Structure 1
Amino acid sequence: MSPHGITVLGECVADAFVEPAGGAGELALRVLPGGGPANTAVALARLGTPARFLARLSGDVFGRLFRAHLEASGVDLSHAVPAVEPSTLAVAELDALGQASFSFHAQHTADWQWTAAELARVSLSGTACVHTGSLALVREPGAAVVEEFLTTAAPQATVSIDPNVRPLLVRPETYRARLADWCALADVLRLSEDDLGLLLPDTPPEQACDIWHAAGARLVVITRGAGGALVSLDGERARVPAVVTSVVDTVGAGDSFTAGLLHQLGARGLLGGRLESLRLADVVEACRFAAQVAALTCSVAGPNPPWRHQVTQLVTADGA
């Protein structure tokens, strides 16, 4: 990998969106490749960051769709594991605001079956940052293996975690029980306002940041949709506004924001360690870029993050 590359570990999910069918008693589904970590890997590669995706990809019809999508976006799949288990499926229903609710079909699927031997073969040389999160950190039997991989990675690379709480599949208490351990490993913790409500109910965002800083996370970013983002670096805070856009849906917006943040920090040579030289102004600048990436993702259907030239066009148009 490039010395500035980012390794992403986690699931790739078939996102099936309900569409009008031809007649009564029918239901049509439009299937797009998704899954939080996969979306982040795709967004990183499209922005120009060398991105390697550690995934267990099934050989079924969805797995073949994932592989084609990831490779077309420039994601390195050299360490993806060919899996015999089926792919994970999520059926999405959108509300009037484009927010999605998912029902998951995830029993005994490929994404959660990591073994220590599979990840032991992965070299972290050239990796500036390891990013993971979502269900890969909480779904057994692979969750413990993934957490051990992060423990190995932490002395060598910046660690980024997005909890991406999925209460329909895993109880929020499971995330809460592990979050302090994740913060001890993580340099970057990015989560949504909805995640905050599930992890620390009735806790003000600023207080939540302080709790997670005390547990070890240096940089905490809480995204709030149209409300922008709260940034906290060792307790020094700022707010970054959202970018106004016409929202088709919000699927993958948080994943794209994370990619934009990590891409911009990496491009400035700020990844690769414990973020010792990071300043709040650096994070604010990176989050402004990340907000543009997320806005472009919201402007199209499904988890379809923008390419770098599209972000450049948006920045140019805003500055005109």
Structure 2
Amino acid sequence: MNPRQITVLGECVADAFTEPASTSNELTLRVLPGGGPANTAVSLARLGTPARFLARLSGDVFGRLFRARLEASGVDLSDAVPAAESSTLAVAEVDAMGQAAFSFHAQHTADWQWTAEELGRVDLSGTACLHTGSLALVQEPGGAVVEDFLAAAAPRTTISIDPNVRPLLVHPDVYRARLARWCALADVLRLSEDDLELLLPEASPERACDLWHAAGTRLVVITRGADGALASLDGDRLRVPALATQVVDTVGAGDSFTAGLLHHLGARGLLGGRLTDLRLDDVADACVFGTRVAALTCSVAGPNPPWREQLAQSAAVGTA
């Protein structure tokens, strides 16, 4: 295995976007393959990082769509589990600002049925970083299995977690109850401003970072949409502005930022342990790169992160 490999564990979700129909009593849906962890794996692979995705992929029409997208993006699916259950579906309504509100159809679907036997077959010896989060960590029966998998991997692998709170499916109290355990395992915690509001509604971003450092996480990054990102490394903080872009929608922007952050750190040999060699300048550079990846994702419809060549072209245009 490539020592720069990043392994991502989590769900695939069929994102169904509402569109105008030909008559008033019809609803048209445009379905795109998504899901936070899947988006992150796709973005990593498109950026050039060897990315392996641990997923339970249904054989239904959506599962085939997921597999096609992942394979076309260069994601390693050698450890994906063929699942008998159906795929998870989310129906999205996008407002005038490009923000999407989701309703989920996720009961007993393939993504949440992980067993210890399935994950026990996974070899992480060539993995520099294991990234997970979102619903995979809280939906049962698989959530507890995934958490045990992280705990076993943590002594030798950089652990990255994105809580990606989904209150329509799982009450924020469930995330709050487990967050301290995740922070004890995680080297990187990346979450959105919306996640922060749901997890610690009374806390400032700086106070939240200090709490999560105290629980064990070395690097905390809070993305703030048009206001950029706040990064905190052991309490030393910096802010990175967002890049101006014509926003089509924001679906997958946070996932793309996470991929850009991890890709940049991995390409510089900073992943693979407890981040002991990481410095604030490294974090700044990685966050700037992440904002570039996120901006390009926002400029197109749906969770469609850029390829490395597109990123290079946009940088050339920006310096012309």
Q: TM-score range by the shorter chain?
A: over 0.9
Deviations 1:259-291 (CA, angstroms, capped at 9, x unpaired) = 000000000000000000000000000000000
Residues 1:46 and 2:78 aligned together: no
What does residue 132 of structure 2 align with? Answer: 132
Equivalents in 2 of 1:108, 1:237: separation in Å? 41
Equivalents in 2 of 1:278, 1:251: separation in Å? 30
Name the aligned partner's letter for residue 81 of structure 1. Answer: V
Q: CA deviation at 1:202?
A: 2.1
Counterparts of residues 300-315 of structure 1 (less than 5 Å): 300-315=300-315
Pairs aligned (count)? 320
8 A Cα contact 1:58 1:110, kept in partner: yes
Equivalents in 2 of 1:180, 1:125: separation in Å? 26
Counterparts of residues 72-87 of structure 1 (less than 5 Å): 72-87=72-87
Q: How does the TM-score come out when normalised to structure 2?
A: 0.99
What does residue 221 of structure 1 align with? Answer: 221
Residues 1:105 and 2:105 aligned together: yes
Q: CA deviation at 1:153?
A: 0.8
Q: CA deviation at 1:22?
A: 1.5
8 A Cα contact 1:36 1:252, kept in partner: yes
Query: What is the identity percentage for the equivalent residue pairs of Structure 1 and Structure 2?
Result: 79
8 A Cα contact 1:124 1:156, kept in partner: no
Q: What SS does the aligned partner of 2:21 have?
A: coil
Deviations 1:15-60 (CA, angstroms, capped at 9, x unpaired) = 0000111212110000000000000000000000000000000000
Q: What SS does the aligned partner of 2:3 have?
A: coil
Q: What SS does the aligned partner of 1:67 have?
A: helix
Alpha-carbon RMSD across the aligned residues, in angstroms, is 0.5
Equivalents in 2 of 1:307, 1:156: separation in Å? 30
Q: CA deviation at 1:314?
A: 1.5
8 A Cα contact 1:134 1:163, kept in partner: yes
Q: CA deviation at 1:318?
A: 1.7
Equivalents in 1 of 2:70, 2:21: separation in Å? 29
Counterparts of residues 82-231 of structure 1 (less than 5 Å): 82-231=82-231
Equivalents in 1 of 2:259, 2:33: separation in Å? 17
What does residue 299 of structure 1 align with? Answer: 299
Deviations 1:90-112 (CA, angstroms, capped at 9, x unpaired) = 00000110000000000000000
Q: Which runs of 4+ in 1 moved over 2 A?
A: none
Unmatched 5+ residue regions in structure 1?
Answer: none
Unmatched 5+ residue regions in structure 2?
Answer: none
Q: What SS does the aligned partner of 2:159 have?
A: strand
